[in-house]
Structure formats: C-alpha cells, structure tokens
Chains A and B, each alone.
Chain A
Amino acid sequence: MSETTAKNALFAVEHLTKSLGGREILHDVSFEAYGGEVFGLLGPNGAGKTTTIKIAVGMLMLDAGDIRIAGYDLRHEYESAMACLGGIVENPEFYKYMSGWDNLLQYARVRRRKINEERIREVVHLVGLENRIYDKVGKYSLGMRQRLGVAQAILGEPKVLILDEPTNGLDPAGIKELRDIFKKLAHESGCAVIVSSHLMSEMEMMCDRVGVIVNGQLRCVSTTAELLSAASADSADFILRVSDVRSAYAALDFLDETSRRITEEGTLEIIVPKEEADALVARVNRSVISAGIELYTVSPKENKKLEDVFIQMTGFEGGVQIA
C-alpha cells in the first residue's frame, strides 16, 4: 500500500472479474494508473477493454475484485469515486435537441464542485468548439461530438480521466490537438489519463505505459519504451518476399502460429528468438526453396513498433486473418 501511495495510484484495478451472459469477459485483471501518466489499455476487439472501462464508470457491476478511483472504493464510495472521474465510453452521446453549451451545463450542474461559466468557456476553447458551441448537437459531425465529449470529460477537472477511443472520427490535426491536451493534463496537472485505442501508433505516441489485455486477462503492464526494447531484445523480425505466400506459410510449419503471419502487403513475416535467428532463418530459407517456392528477399524488419509487439504478444489473432 505504501508503495502505491508513494507513486500516487489514482486509478487502481484489483483482481477484477466479470462475466456477462455466462461468458467470462474479465479474469483477475489488476493494474494501476498513476497521477501524471497516460496509461494505455491495449487489446484486440473483444478483449475486455471497454468492459473494464464500463465497470470503472459504473455502467456494469463487477462480479469480484475492486476498483479504486483516487483512493475511493467504487462500490462503497461510489459518489466520491465518480466525483474524481471524467470520461468517454464508446462514442460520446449527447442530447441532440440541446446545444453543446446546454449539454455541458447539464454535466456541470451535477458535479460536486462548482463549475462556473468561465471554466466551461475555457474547456470549449481548449477543444476548439467556440464557433459551434451554441448550435444544436444534432447538427454536429462525429469529430465535433468527439471534441464535445472530451470537453465534457475534462470539465470537472477530474483526477482520473478515462477515454475509450477518444480520437475516433477526428482528422489528423484534431488527433494531434487532443493528444497534446491529454499529455498536458497528465504531465502538468497530474491527472491519471487512461486511454484505450485500437490505433497502436496512437498509443505509442501518447502513452507512457501500456497494459495489454487479451481474452480478458492482463498479459503485461510496462512502459512503452520497456515494451519496445524488451520485444527487440529477445526476438527478431524478418520479412520474406516470396512467389507464393500461402504455400510458403504452410511450408514453415515448424514455426508455431504466433511467430509467422501473412502481412497486409502480401509478404511473410516471421518472428524468431534472437539467439537462434541465424539458424532459423537458414532453415526457413531451405524449407521455402525445397517447397518449390521462389524466395526473392529476406530482410530484417526495422523500426519495431508497439503494434508489432502487440501482435507478437497477442499471437497474431488480432492481425490479418489466415485463410
């Protein structure tokens, strides 16, 4: 406990378990997000990211475990916990027949601490909606709704900000703006910002640490840098250009399915342990050629990205499907 308080764990998930309709969605998930960091929640579709977030904002009940928000137990001190939380779940939805301003007022009114008009203006300015804030939300584009959602989420100056796919529907410039807002909130205001996204490049640019959820279980939690270096430390990636990708894939049956895949560009990607890299690449070479497939090039993959780590970790199943 002393360790976590020292690191100021504003958002703590402890042994979270949840079943829906007889299927276990989350199994014993534990992680913490600290003040001052952007924490990324990564996982393929259906892994349990949104479920975790929905439990955290009180839309779903947890079966076992605990969630603490700024030290308040979500189950027993619900209102205090929620008072420290801001967020977006899935697509932000608003009352379409009211203006953006009126929607924000709705949100502001029920907050514990008083939110004055000046604060609302400030937030509206921050997300760049000044020109349209008095228009009815029904006339907003998806991107504008997303901006309004962010405005609503940060309006109450929450200690913990939870954002489910926050850059959905935004143009590249908008994505960068928001990324900067979240980083600033975490690094300067000391918030804990928890972001889930399927855009790995996004996460890499935004997050200080990431937790990877696969099939309802937390695979690992580490800093983005650690994850990248750890991944490149013990394995190597190679790209093979061949005449028949499918046959080549089949020929490499001595590699397990988590370490070979067909990429979107029509090449074959293999991941091998670093210490055996030379021997394995040679064997791959032989197998492809002896299967009667033309092998044009074998090149090491440079600039390993979070996406690759993620795919490697989750065993390709989130990537391109194999016929």
Chain B
Amino acid sequence: MHKFTCLVKNEIIKLTKRKGTLVMAALFLAAIVGLTGLFKIVAESSAQSDTDWRQESFQQGEVAGNVDYYGTLYHDSIVYDENGSILSSDLELKELYEYWTYLAEHEVRYDDWLYTNGLYAEYCAAKFALENGTAGALAGEYSARTAKIESYMEKDGWRAYYQDRMAEIQSGYTGTDKEAQLWFYRYSLDRGIAPESGEMYTLLLSVKNAKTALAELDASAAAGEEISEEHRSELQDDITLGVWRLENGVTRDISAEVKNSSLFEVEEINFWSIFAACKTLIKLVGVMCIVIAGSIVASEFSQGTYKFLLMSPAKRWKILVAKFVTVLLFGIAMMAVLYLLSFACCLLFFGTADLALPLLSVQNGVVVPSSPLLSILGDYLLSSVEILAMALLAFAISALVKGNALAISASLLVYFSGTLLESILRSLGVDFGRYLLFANLDLPALYAGTELYAGQSFGFAVAVILCHLIVFGWTAWDAFTRREM
C-alpha cells in the first residue's frame, strides 16, 4: 500500500510540475472569479437603471399620455354656440378624461390596492354621475358609495374594505372561488398583511390563486370531467408550501434558483442563483479531466519515459491504477475548488444576507426545509459521474494510442461528437439513442425527473453508465497490461 501511495505521489508530482496543468488550473480559477464578478457588475449596473415598474407613479407612466389623449379628444368633441358657451360635448370622453386626471393628480401607483381593486374607477364614475345630473334614489346610492370609498382611502382603510367584501361574499356569492376569497380576506385581516405590503402580499395572492385553481379543478371533477391527479397534487403542494412560507415568514423561494445549473438561465442575480449557476463550470472540470486523462498514459509513450516508468518494481496494472487514481484526485480537487471558490466569490460579491435561507420542498404533504448548500453539493456529486465516465473513456483511448495529442483530441472528439450524435438520434426519434452513454450523463436532471426518452429512469441511466465504465476500464486495463512496448 505504501508503494502504491508512492506511485500516486509520483504521478501527482509529474502532473503538477507540468506547465500545461498549471496554466489550465490557473485559467479555471480565473474563470470562476471572473464569471461571478461579471454577474456582480451586471447586477450593479441593472440595479441602477431599472427600479421596480410597479413602484412608479402613474405620473411618469402612461397616465400623462392618457390625460393628454382623452383631454384632446374631449375638447375636440365640444360644440360651441355663437356666444362661446358649450352647446354639447361627448360625456363619455369627459368621464375618461376626468378619471385619468384624477389618477394623475393623486399620483396613484400601479400597485395601489384601490387601483387594482377598481375602486378609483368606481369612485370617479359615481362622482361623475352625481356631478352630471343624476338624481333621485340613484344619487343617494352614489353618494353613499363615494363616502364608503373615501373611508377606504384612509389609512388602514383596507381592513374595512376586506370586511365589507367578506360580508358581501358570505351573503350570496356562489362562485367556485368563494372559499379561496374568504380565506384570503380572513388571513390578511388576521395577520395584518396589508395590500401593497410587498413580498408577503404577493405570496398570499399566489396562495389564493392556487386555492382558486384547486377549487375550480375540484368543481370540474364533481361535474364528472376528467382531471389530472398530478396537477391536483401539484396545486395542493403549492398551497401547503405557500402557507408554510406565510407562517414562517419565508417570502423568498430559492428552489428554482438552486436547481438551475446553467449560467445562461439566470433570471435574477443574487447569491444563490449565481452560486448554483456556477454548476455550469462542472463541464470545464470535465474537459480538464479529459485532457489530463488523455495525456497521462499517452505522454509516457510520446516522451519515451515509459522505459523509465516500467523500471518500477510494480506490476503494470498498479501503475495504470495509480494513474487513474491521480486523474480522479485531480477531478475531485477541481470540483472542490469550483465549489469552494464559487461559494467564496458569491459571499464576497453578493453578501451573506441570503445564506440562511432554507431550500423548501413538499414531501407527502409535509414541507421539508433543507440546506441549499447540500442540495448543490448533491448536484456536484451527480455530475461527477459524467466526469468519471468521460475521464475513463479518455483514459482508455490514452492507453490505446501512442501519441499524446492524438489521445487528447480523440477523447474530446468522441465527447463532443457523441453528444451531438445522441441529440441527432433523439431529434430523429431513433429510440436506440437511449442506450448511448451520452443520453444518460445528465444525472442531476434525470434525478429530478426529466426524461430525454420515454420511460428513461434514473436507474436505467446508472445501469447504462456502469456498462460503459466497465467497457472503458477493461479496455484501458487490457491495452496497458498486455502491451508490447
């Protein structure tokens, strides 16, 4: 065992003394720091340029335009008599003009709850009707309504509005979303979640929508329609998760960000989205491992140093295994560097604020919070299987051919053309593609349930990979131990 350790040590020294390896590793480190830094720069510049559109007051938005537009239309519609007094005008246009002018004057915002609930429109309409000669019982109704809406406009007026809505719904509303509406108003009042209160309110709305969707689904089921059980349980999980988050005050859901493993699909730049998206760089580790594995045996032949190497009092297979162990150690080291350095860079660039956020998932109707750090680490482990397979392939090619460059380029060629071939087969609908190694390498996605081919399971993928590993390993073994040098 001691001697085997020495063999591995020798290989590591040979690897690390080579300039190529060092340059490659340095470029890799630079790529990690550079990419995370790039996202930091992009995040900062976009933070300056766009503020949340909902926070904008109408003044700056389309309102001013509407005021102008309806104002012009209205003034054009006025017909004057010869004394210069108004003969007639388009009242509909006038009403619109006054409505928009009201919004503009009061600097109403897009996310103003009175606006989103249509209360301003109602208010202005009632006022307009009163001003333009509505009389009798209708006038009384209108003035009562305007007084009511004015009371809603006061501070915390939303409570009164919510209570009135609840009373209304209870007294005769029969829509399928009755329960969802009632729950929404009751929950808001109980927890004091005011409209416009940001993320909590948005979360509450999404739970209400999920509840509504579920109620509609159940209603159609009761009417004898066929419904998707999967969709139903998804909705139920959404509701469970939403309520849990409301109860625990966890407004941020980072599960999509943590699951994302592509730098090209980052939607919002923050600690978790960038740390998780750095998983893209695992591909780089794979390419580096292919290069190392491709040269580690072949370079001994191209340099002629196999003569030196075989003078060791160690059987050939031990030398071969020591070499592969070295490739594995290199891969593990690079994965660790990627994980730790991207973590450190994200901490540095995006701060520690999000660090404590849990990763939430619903299992059997129960919310299970877990560590996003571990989830990302799990994806790293699943992805290393791909690297292992590609490294072993390159290693086998390396043991088969004598030229260093040939071994590396052949390995890379197989890697890229294999991936291409598999996707071509898939697009042509050739089912045989599922037995190709390259169709089964994306283990994190397969584990999460994505299928490239119908019925392709995680276990199937693992079995295909294992078969290939055995073939590659056996090829390398046979080529090296029986080779006449």
A94 to B17, CA, bound (A): 13
CB 8 Å contact bits of A71-90 with B (1 = contact, 0 = none): 00000001111110111011
> Complex formed: what's the CA distance from A103 to B308 in Å?
9
Inter-chain CA distance A110–B17, complex, in Å, is 18
Within 8 Å of chain B (Cβ to Cβ): is A239? no
List of A residues within 8 angstroms of B17 by Cβ: 95, 97-98, 102
B175 within 8 Å of A (CB atoms): no
Residues from chain B with a CB closer than 8 A to the CB of A273 are none
Chain B, 115-174, CB within 8 A of any chain A CB: none
Question: Which residues from 1 to 41 on chain B have a C-beta closer than 8 Å to any C-beta of chain A?
Answer: 3, 6-7, 9-10, 13-14, 17-19
Is A58 an interface residue when CB atoms closer than 8 A count as contact? yes
Contact status A92-B308, CB under 8 Å: yes
- Contact in complex: B14, A60 (CB < 8 Å): no
Structural contact, B6 and A112, CB atoms closer than 8 A: no
Q: Mark B214-233, 1 if CB is under 8 A from A, else 0.
A: 00000000000000000000
Within 8 A of A (CB), among B48-62: none
Contacts of A92 in B (CB 8 A): 307-308
Cα separation A272 to B314 with both chains bound (whole Å): 52
Q: Which residues of B contact A52 (CB under 8 A)?
A: none
Count A interface residues, CB 8 Å: 35
Q: Does B191 interact with chain A (Cβ within 8 Å)? A: no
Do A79 and B313 have beta carbons less than 8 Å apart?
Answer: yes
CB distance from A77 to the nearest CB of B (A): 10
How far apart are the CA atoms of A79 and B311 in the complex, in Å? Answer: 10
Contact B311 A82 (CB under 8 A): yes
Return the chain B residue nearest A111 by Cβ: B313
A60-B484, A95-B303, A112-B3 are known contacts. Are A107 and B308 too (CB-CB below 8 A)?
A: yes
Contact string against B for A residues 10-47, beta-carbon threshold 8 Å, 1 for contact and 0 otherwise: 00000000001000000000000000000000000000
CB-based contact B6/A107 at 8 Å: no
In the complex, which residue of chain A has the Cβ closest to the Cβ of B17?
A98
**How far is it, in angstroms, between the C-alpha of A277 and the C-alpha of B310 when the chains are bound?**
53
Tell me how many residue pairs across A and B have CB atoms closer than 8 Å.
81
Contact B303 A93 (CB under 8 A): yes
Known: A102-B13, A109-B10, A112-B3. A59 touches B307 (CB 8 A): yes
- Supposing A82-B313, A94-B308 touch, asked if A109 and B485 sit within 8 A by C-beta, the answer is no
Q: CB distance B310 to A110 under 8 Å?
A: no
Q: In the complex, which of the residues A60, A90, A107, A110 has the most CB atoms of chain B within 10 Å of its own CB atom?
A: A110
Q: A59-B485, A106-B13 are in contact. Are A91 and B304 (CB under 8 A)?
A: yes
Task: Say yes or no: A79-B485 contact (C-beta < 8 A), given A89-B307, A93-B303.
Answer: no
The answer to whether A61 has its CB under 8 Å from any CB of chain B is yes
Are B307 and A106 touching (Cβ within 8 A)?
no
Given contacts A98-B17, A109-B9, A110-B10, contact A57 B311 (CB under 8 A): yes
A65 CB, nearest partner CB in chain B, Å: 16
Contact B307 A79 (CB under 8 A): no
A81 to B313, CA, bound (A): 8
User: Nearest-CB distance from A55 to chain B (Å)?
Assistant: 10
Residues of B within 8 A of A57 (CB): 307, 310-311
With A20-B484, A59-B485, A97-B19 known as contacts, the answer to whether A79 contacts B13 (CB < 8 A) is no
A87 to B311, Cβ gap below 8 A? yes
Q: A82-B314, A94-B308, A98-B13 are in contact. List 15 more A-B contacts (CB 8 A).
A: A20-B484, A57-B310, A60-B485, A79-B313, A90-B307, A93-B307, A93-B308, A94-B305, A95-B14, A97-B17, A97-B19, A98-B14, A109-B10, A112-B3, A112-B313
Residues of A within 8 A of B (CB): 20, 54, 57-61, 78-83, 85-87, 89-98, 102-103, 106-107, 109-112, 152
Interchain Cβ contacts under 8 Å between A and B, 8 examples: A57-B307, A58-B316, A59-B310, A80-B313, A82-B313, A92-B307, A93-B304, A106-B14
